[in-house]
Chain A
Amino acid sequence: MVFEKVAAVYSADGRRSLKPTGEPDEHYECDDVLVAVGQENAFPWIERDIGLDFDQWDMPKVDPVTFQSSNPKVFFGGDAAFGPKNIIWAVAHGHDAAISIDKFVHGQSVEDRPPPMVTLVSQKMGIHEWAYDNDLSNDVRYKVPLVDKDVALKDVRTEVELGFDRKLGYAEAQRCLNCDVQTVFSAPLCIECDACVDICPMDCITFTENGEEEALRARLNAPAHNTTQDLYVSETLKTGRIMAKDEDVCLHCGLCAERCPTGAWDMQRFTLDITHADHRCQQR
């Protein structure tokens, strides 16, 4: 097996590429060769004179929002647009590119993009009954069961990961933090009884004087250090204070809403309805 010698070279923006060092090739004798290669995008078949610009990596220049290339009639999506990602991204790209194409063929601006629809629906069914399962599991992540090594090594086609069975799958699903269910606070209903503050297992609710964000973050029951996560702050309450909640550590267990005597806290399920291409499919 003959190997070309390369070295890792980093560009100014930190991207790594392998460049030949110019040293002589190296030869290794071997009985068996297992080939493990990655993959990368290549568009040698696209003519370079059709108004499509390529960047330094020889990839087409694509707008990250509209997915339009420098040739307005050509759109890219999936791995072809920004290199290998997973299928979820590819589907999302397809949706957004479809909106662009729909706009383009109707002679509208592809920059003008309709927003997605969002809805919040109360999950309250009874005094302490929710339409979602709010009882959190304390279990640690379950391992996916594997086929016995003796069996797996005998046949390369053997499926090694067995997946969860019904019981294990249920136990793993119980670990879900219900991130889609939001704590929604209504200041006019609050009587400031502190019940939510007392029950919150994460100390993420505080009633305090309003102030600048930096000072407010420091004087919460538990300081909120993650500045990339906004604080949830209410309007001014009857006593002149505000309710401030650190969303960063919330478990969505709904205990604040269960202990709230006036329904000032409600658990509401958030749904995102992504924009569809045809205006008849759009709710807005």
Chain B
Amino acid sequence: MKVLKTFSIFAAALILTDAAQARVKLVALPARARVVVSLANLQATLVEEERIITLQKGVNKIDFSWKGVSIDPASIQIRMLNEPGKVKVLNTSYPPNEQALIWEIASPTARAERMRISYLLQGITRQVVYKATAETDESALTLRNYLRVRNHSGEDLDKAEIGIGYGAGFKRTVQHQETIELLSERIENLPIKKILTWDSKQLPWDPEYEKKTVGIPLNYVIKNDKASKLGAHTLLPGKVRIFIKTKEGVAFTGEDWGGLTPVDREMKLYIGQSREVKVVQRKTTDERVNLRRNNGNRVVMWDQNEVYKVEIQNFKTTPVTLVVREHIPGYWTMIESTHKYAKKDAFTIEYTLELPAKSTGDKKTTLTFNVRRKNVQGNEPSSY
């Protein structure tokens, strides 16, 4: 254990001189009997340490100091574990210009008391890191979930019980300036969906006018549920690196930030782009109907009749799931659609299309839909 920057806890018979800077202490140095680090709260790291401290009958002074480490002094709590009813904290004193406090603890007898000191410690950060290896056919993957603990607190944590709020904890030593990565979960054969998403707001409608081949965002979708061998807890946000099995070893396919995913919800990982699927969207009808004019003959309100045609070719030798996302502002009704759609919100619809392998040329998939945007004045909301 590094002594340079460390906590010290003193069962002290204090002899104080005239200056606080020169407080003379006669101290015992009880070793830590247990250290627990709770990383369950994203905002702050809670450390609880237990020490067995020999008390004399009567009033004892316990000096707790934290030079060189950043503890929130307001967070420091002490609890008696053996005789909480009998061994009592009388008061806490804070000397000037010192990172220290002194507890006065009254004990009815001379005894060894196990005490638990809890405090929020800065400088310990945690990250959740996911590493996934997909099967060659991209139908399933092996997901490993790591807890990465970085200790820059100034304090060595010996044999610390580290917990993140779910799953089994770890018992590890994490030295000052050390980072450790602990495997908290490993799930084999986790089913995934591979989905391409073509968003009419994000991507060009006619690739012919583009200098480069348009890539369509490719997502792996993991559902945090029992069917996917997950569903025990919320998946915490973290970077997900995805590899794919090859004949020899693995290849890296991409990475994304996985968002916070409660049970039964999907974690969508944008891992790259596919250039094997081509989407061409055109507005084939765009006309104002049901015009309403004011007395000056100016059109003050109308309906907009719009027909969209989306042609999709899959050049891959395997079938592909493609989501086509369309944005329709304002008040609208669907007059006609060749495919079923899901209304995601008031101004967004999604078509989920299963594109057959090699569906190109005459075999391409064609989607058309006709929407009527009603009572248009040109200031329709497109988001909320």
Asked if A and B bind, the verdict is no
Task: Write the residues of chain B forming the contact surface with A, with a CB cutoff of 8 angstroms.
Answer: none
Task: Write the residues of chain A forming the contact surface with B, with a CB cutoff of 8 angstroms.
Answer: none
